[in-house]
């Protein structure tokens, strides 16, 4: 280990008191010995690593700046806007679909009775979906898409499960989405959220639309029902506000956009073929010169294709060749996009929709990695946004006598138990993947419900549709290949040996 180099202050102290200077050097050597991790080193290679003040929840000013910049990126940056749409289409798509999963054994009823309850619950939900919006503009599938976009763009979204007053509604419960900007207040941490002794949200300060007046909204009502859904990804204990999904790569998006714009401008300049003519008549040359100036008084210089310029006597031409774009342009842009994809957990191929350099294996690997992230987000969004609203809708249906569920409050979690199915992603190679799904079911590694859900379909609807098709085909005397009856193990083994 090298002894630390003396600083200017060390030299001054050594002149006044060599003994104290010696103690200072020993203390610094001990400090170096105590550093077990290079990442915590404060040597000359890391002494310019300036750390901000750490906070569980970003400062309100930071949140406003992050949100504004992310909104600007979604308006004007093609990669950022495309990434947001890719996330929305793969996570929510046309809306997460409900599958009631009521279990007969947990309710102590027959299977037929459980199926009847499932049909009731799903029918109530389907009838409510078109009337989900408090403003009577969006259905619940569209509300899901908007809410997810706001989580990605703003980092959070607020949803009020309010009671509408229209008499024509069978279910009065509906949803009002609120922008994150309206959650504000003068509480101690500036988050607009009043917390309890355990850090739980007690109330929210919501600014009225188009006004500076705020309204305090309790987090829960007297029965424990949510009065407001504050949906955001929690990444640290005690975090009370969310920050945009693009926060780690906002700088990369902006720098890449500026670089691309500079390259485009350079290419346009390089495409201009200019001809300059030298004339002996200085007066005419000066008369024809442009005198346009900008607001600062600087003469505006322009160049365009087919330009013919007249020079004064004694002036020469130096041709400038910008060589745009350079040889490293494509690889540089691709590297930046790959870094953005890493931060967003999106493979490069999915981020830019470029599969030109992939084969079947690499394309499938990229898609599977993307689907892993999309599925995790889908599960989270269903639990935080869709399920709480479904609970409230089904409870109101029970109270209005539309859902025949004895002991509803005692067994509420079972009556409201559900799965949320998103859209399917298709196959890279249908023959291989269908065969893989069939074998997974045969060997007990998967189920029809899981495989159908992977394609965004309800397994019961699939079987019912097959039964209807087979029945109709039998009536017409037409043979179709539907689901075959399960073959015996011996037949399956023989088929395998023949293959």
Q: What angle do CA 173, 176, 182 make, to 5 degrees?
A: 145
Q: Looking at the domain assignment, is residue 305 inside a domain?
A: no
* Assigned domain for 208 exists: yes
Domain boundary among 31, 51, 71: 51
Contacts (Cβ under 8 Å, ≥6 apart) of 278: 310, 311, 312, 313, 315
CA-based nearest residue to 239, from 205, 204, 203, 199: 199
Rounded Cα distance between 360 and 348, Å, is 16
DSSP-assigned letter for residue 383: I
Same domain (yes/no): 42, 104? no
pLDDT confidence of 289, banded at 50, 70, 90? low
Residues 237, 156 share a domain? yes
Digit-coded pLDDT (tens) for 443-483: 888 888 777 777 767 777 777 777 777 777 877 777 776 54
Q: Are residues 2 and 129 in the same domain?
A: no
Q: Determine the pLDDT at residue 248.
A: 92
Establish if 300 belongs to a structural domain: no
Mark whether 141 and 244 lie in a shared domain: yes
Q: Which is it for the CA torsion 190, 153, 129, 380, positive or negative?
A: negative
Give the pLDDT confidence score for residue 490 in this predicted structure: 46
Please indicate, yes or no, whether residues 21 and 155 belong to a single structural domain of this protein: no
What whole-number distance in Å separates Cα of residue 195 and Cα of residue 178?
20
Where is the domain boundary, 51, 74, 92? Answer: 51
- Choose among 78, 92, 90, 154: nearest CA to 337: 78
For the CA atoms of the chain, what is the radius of gyration?
A: 33
Is residue 386 included in any domain, yes or no?
no
Distance, CA of 368 to CA of 371 (rounded, Å): 5
Clarify whether residues 19 and 103 are in a common domain: no
Any domain includes 496: yes
Residues 73 and 219 in one domain: yes
Alpha carbons 72 and 84: distance in angstroms, whole number: 13
479 part of a folded domain: yes
Asked if residue 64 and residue 45 are part of one domain, the reply reads: no
Q: Is residue 91 part of a domain?
A: yes
**Residue 121 shares a structural domain with residue 215:** yes
Tokens of 343: 């931060």
Q: Using one digit for the tens of pLDDT, what is the confidence trace for 210-219? A: 788 888 999 9
Examine the domain organization and report whether 196 and 109 are in the same domain.
yes
The whole domain housing 441 covers 426-499
Alpha-carbon separation of residue 144 from 44, 46, 269 (angstroms): 51, 45, 46
Query: What is the SS3 assignment for 403?
Result: coil
Q: Number of folded domains in the chain?
A: 3
Confirm if 293 and 299 have CB atoms less than 8 A apart: yes
Q: In whole angstroms, how far apart are CA 57 and each of 150, 182, 233? A: 18, 17, 12
Last residue of a domain, one of 248, 277, 293: 248
Within-domain flag for 454: yes
Mean pLDDT of 130-151: 95
**Same-domain status, 74 and 187:** yes
64 shares a domain with 124: yes
Mean pLDDT of the chain: 82
Q: What pLDDT, in 10s, does the model give residues 51-74?
A: 666 677 767 778 889 999 999 999
């Amino acid at each position: 280990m090298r002894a630390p180099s003396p600083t200017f202050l060390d030299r001054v102290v050594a002149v006044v008191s060599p003994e104290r200077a010696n103690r200072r050097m020993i203390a610094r050597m001990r400090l170096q010995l105590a550093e077990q991790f290079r990442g915590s080193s404060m040597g000359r290679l890391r002494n310019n690593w300036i750390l901000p003040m750490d906070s569980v929840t970003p400062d309100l000013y930071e949140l406003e700046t992050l949100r504004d910049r992310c909104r600007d990126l979604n308006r004007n940056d093609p990669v950022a806007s495309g990434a947001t749409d890719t996330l929305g289409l793969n996570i929510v798509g046309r809306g997460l679909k409900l599958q009631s999963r009521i279990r007969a054994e947990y309710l102590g009823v027959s299977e037929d009775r459980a199926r009847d309850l499932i049909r009731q619950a799903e029918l109530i939900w389907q009838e409510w979906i078109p009337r989900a919006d408090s403003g009577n503009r969006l259905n619940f599938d569209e509300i899901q898409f908007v809410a997810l976009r706001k989580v990605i763009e703003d980092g959070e979204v607020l949803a009020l499960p309010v009671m509408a007053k229209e008499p024509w509604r069978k279910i009065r419960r509906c949803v009002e989405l609120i922008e994150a900007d309206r959650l504000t207040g003068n509480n101690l941490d500036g988050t607009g959220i009043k917390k309890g002794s355990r850090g739980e949200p007690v109330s929210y300060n919501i600014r009225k639309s188009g006004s500076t007046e705020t309204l305090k909204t309790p987090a829960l009502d007297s029965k424990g029902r949510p009065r407001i859904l504050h949906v955001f990804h929690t990444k640290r204990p005690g975090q009370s506000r969310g920050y945009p999904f693009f926060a780690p790569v906002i700088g990369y998006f902006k720098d890449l956009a500026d670089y691309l714009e500079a390259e485009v401008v350079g290419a346009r300049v390089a495409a201009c073929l200019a001809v300059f003519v030298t004339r002996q008549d200085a007066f005419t040359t000066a008369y024809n010169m442009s005198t346009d100036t900008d607001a600062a008084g600087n003469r505006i210089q322009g160049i365009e294709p087919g330009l013919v310029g007249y020079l004064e006597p004694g002036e020469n031409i130096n041709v400038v060749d910008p060589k745009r774009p350079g040889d490293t342009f494509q690889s540089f842009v691709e590297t930046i996009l790959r870094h953005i994809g890493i931060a967003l957990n999106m493979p490069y191929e999915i981020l830019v929709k470029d599969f030109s350099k992939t084969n079947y294996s690499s394309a499938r690997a990229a898609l599977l990695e993307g689907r892993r992230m999309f599925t995790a987000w889908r599960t989270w969004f269903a639990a935080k946004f869709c399920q709480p609203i479904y609970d409230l809708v089904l409870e109101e249906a029970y109270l209005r006598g539309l859902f025949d569920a004895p002991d509803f409050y005692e067994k509420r979690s079972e009556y409201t138990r559900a799965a949320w199915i998103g859209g399917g992603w298709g196959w890279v190679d249908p023959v291989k993947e269908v065969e893989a799904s069939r074998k997974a079911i045969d060997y007990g590694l998967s189920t029809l419900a899981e495989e159908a859900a992977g394609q965004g379909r309800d397994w019961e609807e699939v079987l019912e549709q097959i039964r209807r098709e087979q029945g109709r085909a039998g009536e017409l005397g037409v043979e179709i290949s539907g689901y075959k009856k399960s073959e015996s193990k011996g037949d399956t083994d023989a088929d395998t040996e023949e293959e």
